[in-house]
Structure 1
Amino acid sequence: MSVSSSRKITPILGAELDKLVTLPWIWITLMGTFMLNLVLAAAYTSVGLQGAAGTQNILNIGLASMGYLQAGFIILGILATCSEYTGGQIRTTLTVIPWRGFQLSAKHLAMAIITIPAAFIITASGVLYTFIMMKDTAVVIEIDAIIESLAGATGYLTLTTLLSAAIGGLLRRTTPALVILLGYYFIVSPLTRDFLPSIRIYFPDTAGHYMYMPPSSDEINGLTPVQGTCILMLWTLIFITVAIVFYRKRDA
């Protein structure tokens, strides 16, 4: 059974990767997100340079754009799963690949393969820009701390993309998925920031924040990076599982 499954998943993964890399909107979204990050990094760095010398944290400034940067990866995940429904290509996909569970799992794996290097490059570019501009005025940070924060930021954006892809697969329409997810991340979540903080830290965006920004010493209800990773990963796996269950039961 394991050999048979392996023989199925390998060509399916290759097909899903091929579909994603040939989808123009994937690369347009990534390039737009990269440019947006550089613009925001320049803006935050400029503000930081005007602050008190010697007190600026490169990571705090270099990763300050994450709140906006996540929008690009939310769009990326939704486009990856909803694009096939827009033009009816999903029927061709299911005709060629009748194993729905394998196919959707492979799509998410292919999405992760593309997102991980893209997320790392984009987040690292912001931190690198900040370091170059502020290396003489910022607090010295150990390389291990920089690597851990970049790894956490990459993981957060990757899991956010996969979670968005799962919700996009559930809704099967781009606009409703965008409205719900962007509405949650940019309207609902900020509005509930001061309510029930002990519960809110278990929400996907809040838990994910701690993956790259560990709690400060005076923060009472903060999570460790590992705890934040586990919580966001659990959210992602739940939505992917639900998406697969519905995908197997629905008509194309």
Structure 2
Amino acid sequence: MSISSSKKITKILGAELDKLVSLPLIWLTLIGTFILNLVLAAAFTSAGLQGAAGTQSILNIGLASMGYLQAGFIILGISATCSEYTSGQIRTTLTVIPWRGFQLSAKHLALAVITIPAAFIIAASGILYTFMMMRDTAVGFEIDTMIETLVGATGYLTLTTLLSAAIGALLRRTTPALVMLLGYYFIISPLSRDFLPNYFPDTAGYYMYMPASNDEINVLTPMQGTGILMLWTLIFIKVAIIFYRQRDA
């Protein structure tokens, strides 16, 4: 790759990162998700403390909020790509950066740069709170297992955010994208999980972070779950780029 191409990509990435960092909705979503996670962690921990002592898993309870937590990252991804259409800034963006494929790819990469540390901190906060409250009564865990679980949870939330951003880029409207994704993750998928295979994004992603019980073997390994969710994400990003390059702003 030529030096000029490298500089061009770096500048585009920097511009996309600056736009996301300066967008108030991004930080409001992350702060709201962090607070919601702590509230849910406190609720699940309280329920765990009322259960049978010695039978509770800190990791399972600490990650029990993930099913709800993903809503914040879905909103984050959709906001990142739809906000420019809502504000009309997309026309300025495409005037300054006419290379649409590079621009949308850079937006997803910039979003990942923001999401990875945020997802790690938020997921870790739930486990840390549960550990502090239940360290004397709950079943312990090995540090390696905790690290693998946190990496898996971070990866799941990040890939879910990028997938949501791709769908937001396809639909270009916040409300339809939210209705579609939240409807799938919180209504369609839970109701049809017993009938559908384990290869849909949220179902496969579940195995990225949820440790198996002593008497239970997960259907997919963490690596398999990661590969399947990553494939879904890359497919949607590719489709979003194709449509993005072929249509007007």
Q: TM-score range by the shorter chain?
A: over 0.9
CA deviations 1:31-74 (Å, max 9, x no partner) are 00000000000000000001111111000000000000000000
Superposition RMSD in Å: 1.2
* 1:218 shift after superposition: 5.3
* 1:5 shift after superposition: 2.7
Q: Does 1:203 align with 2:200?
A: yes
Give the percent of matched residue pairs that are identical in Structure 1 and Structure 2: 84
Aligned match of 1:5: 5
| Counterparts of 1:49 and 1:81, CA distance in 2 | 41
Distance of aligned partners of 1:51 and 1:220 in 2 relative to their CA distance in 1, 3 Å threshold: closer
On the 8 A contact 2:115/2:158 being kept in 1, the answer is yes
| Counterparts of 2:213 and 2:139, CA distance in 1 | 16
Q: Which amino acid aligns with 2:71?
A: A
* 1:216 shift after superposition: 4.2
| Counterparts of 2:6 and 2:215, CA distance in 1 | 49
On the 8 A contact 1:79/1:174 being kept in 2, the answer is yes
| Counterparts of 2:47 and 2:226, CA distance in 1 | 30
On the 8 A contact 1:156/1:211 being kept in 2, the answer is yes
* 1:176 shift after superposition: 0.1
Aligned match of 1:165: 165
| Counterparts of 2:32 and 2:25, CA distance in 1 | 10
* 1:220 shift after superposition: 6.6
| Counterparts of 1:17 and 1:71, CA distance in 2 | 22
On the 8 A contact 2:17/2:110 being kept in 1, the answer is yes
Q: Does 1:107 align with 2:104?
A: no
On the 8 A contact 1:215/1:223 being kept in 2, the answer is no
* 1:3 shift after superposition: 3.0
Q: Does 1:243 align with 2:240?
A: yes
Aligned match of 2:80: 80
SS of the equivalent of 2:184 reads: helix
* 1:219 shift after superposition: 5.0
The two structures have a TM-score, normalised by structure 2, of 0.97
The two structures have a TM-score, normalised by structure 1, of 0.96
Distance of aligned partners of 1:98 and 1:158 in 2 relative to their CA distance in 1, 3 Å threshold: same
Stretches of structure 2 lacking an aligned partner (at least 5 in a row): none
Q: Which amino acid aligns with 1:104?
A: L
* 1:221 shift after superposition: 6.7
| Counterparts of 1:221 and 1:141, CA distance in 2 | 18
* 1:94 shift after superposition: 0.4
Q: May I ask how many residue pairs the two structures share in their alignment?
A: 249
Aligned match of 1:52: 52
Aligned match of 1:185: 185
| Counterparts of 1:97 and 1:111, CA distance in 2 | 18
